[in-house]
Chain A
Amino acid sequence: MVKIKYIDRPGLTNRERVFFVDFIKGMRITLKNLLRKTVTTYYPFEKLTPPKRFRGTHAHRVKNGKEPPSFKVLEKFMDIKEGESRCVACYMCQQACPVPELFKIEAVQTPEGKKRVTRFDMNLLNCMYCGLCTEACPVDCLIMTDIYETASYHRAGTVLHLDDMARRAVDFDSRRFDEPDRIWIDDQERSKLWGQIKWS
């Protein structure tokens, strides 16, 4: 057994007790803060740009030639035109979601025997923005943008639809697709972003 010696909390010294030293210390700090610049943003007039990996409102990347190889495999089974959402209705996002009821995904078979996504609704009132759906997406279609103003006057206004999700992704990619990610992909990229790190 380790012998434990219990010691008392140090009390105030006489100097501290007589001159209220703690009061003076605290008041010095508030005075210093008073003279500092404010750290706030004037929100409706100024808006902070979130980092690229910010988990904001969802969006659908469109078919634009930058698809991952997995999409190339599925492409011939799908009826997707250039500039449309590249969703393949695999339901992986719904499977990954902790609240799967918020997805309403429907797809139909066209007369040519191809698959066409007709509906992809997300009720963001139930969404907790965990980002599991975007990680599950096999074709890099469902992403999260940096848009964080989701308020609406009606509940119906908070439901995302297929076409406006595609539009939002086009907007997001045009603004931030080329921005380097804060997280590196490989060692070369890391040293470019963060400099050479010496591992001990």
Chain B
Amino acid sequence: MAALTPISRKPLSLVLPTVAVAGAVAGMFVGASNGSVVLGMLGGAIAMAAVASVYITILKNEQYARWINIIGSGLLGFLFGGLLGGILGLLAGWFFAFFIYWMYEGRYRRKLLPYMTARQVFWHYAFRVICGAIFTFLITPILVVLPLSFNAQDFFTFTPEMLRLDPEGYSLKHYRDFFSNNEWQRSFKNSLIIAPIATVISVSLGTLAAIGLSQSHVPGRRLIMGVLISPMIVPLIISATGMFFFYSDIGRFLEGTLGMNKNFVGYVKVVLAHAVLGIPFVIITVTATLVGFDRSLTRAAANMGAGPVKTFFSIQMPLILPGVISGGLFAFITSFDEVVVILFVGSASQKTLPWQMFTGLREQISPTILAVATILVVFSIALLTTVELLRRRSERLRGLSPA
């Protein structure tokens, strides 16, 4: 976007307090890692305001000021925090050099409409800062896990070696443990057996239910809908307790009366329980897609001699497929992440990955859990990206514009 507004320099009375606030935020993080948040905030605010006033009133050269700031704060960081501190220092130095002159030269107004009031400008940026903060709070806990999973020690701790970026402090041993440990492998395999089968069941039943419930002539459809969605609303622990007794009886019947294999029955119980949990997600997403579905298409198909089954698979299914797929994804993730119901309904031979992670976390805080978490995060990102790419491809092929 080209510059919209001619800019002018701003008075120090505006620049210095703003820079001081930014300095206080940065100082808060430094202070928190050194024991005193308040001192850090005060120090950061005063230091940044002082630096800014020196640059603006004495140095008066932006190029010099930028390099002095980057190198100076990089060196400070390196002296106090080693290599990692140095890198963070360089980044902070670059940011503050940019920020001081961005404020001072009034560049922040350049791309905004000329008639905006000071208040509007303030909220324009405050809104972005708040969004950025929300994003940070959502994503940081996940990012913290990634480096910790390469810890050379068996604790959830950033060791001094790790903070110095010393290769000694890092290792792949937790990944090796995951791939060589029987318990982890068995539970991983169980998750890979249970989740897809449960997903297939929830998707088929959920889609059928959604289509049926979208017909206006079904009696009591709101009530039926409510019952079908209830597993999502009822607290999981309550469903789980109920399921435990319910499936115990079913299991006894299958094993005792029909003489089926004990392990097989165990899997059937867990798969059914997980399918029940997944169905609401499928119903909701498919119902939402059905709202945009043109019913005259099914009538047209019937007019040309297609039976209801043929119509469903050739006309309706392709059009509501995105809803079905995203419902299926939710159902898959529900089963793959589920830890409460499996603890009640499953027995040791059906131990899934979340169960293993749960007991591992409680009994032994081992970074193998973090290694698994990292693998799962990467796996989910890959899964979502693939689905999104496929969706765009099919839209392109069908001549719809890529969203």
A and B are interacting partners = no
